[in-house]
Amino acid sequence: MAADDARIDEDRRIRYLQRVVDMTCQVLLQQEMSLEEAQGMITGVKKMALRLFPDKEPTFDLIYGSRFRRILMERFPLV
């Protein structure tokens, strides 16, 4: 039963992180902001993700890093 609870909790944290990342991507694409503000938002999401999933920074960079870089390159072509 404890393993089921752990899996349910992890699934909940994954869904939460996915929603936060999706919303952040939409804000980055739709709102006027500076490069520094955009990078600050991404840093905040990464910190939140690492609180949810400690020691998973390489996984975050692999899964979400390229997505954020692509958005930054689209919004700020000189990046």
Paired tokens of 39:
């990078």
Taken as a whole, the chain contains a residue count of 79
CB atoms within 10 A of CB 6: 10
Segment 29-56, tens digit of pLDDT: 999 999 999 999 999 999 999 999 999 9
pLDDT at 79 over 60: no
- The set of long-range contacts for 37-44, using a CB threshold of 8 Å and a minimum separation of 24, is 38/71, 38/72, 38/75, 38/76, 39/72, 42/68, 42/72
| Verdict on whether the full-model pTM lies above 0.85 | yes
Please give the Cα distance from 74 to 57 (Å, whole number).
Answer: 24
The boundaries of the domain holding residue 8 are 2-75
Please state the domain count of the chain: 1
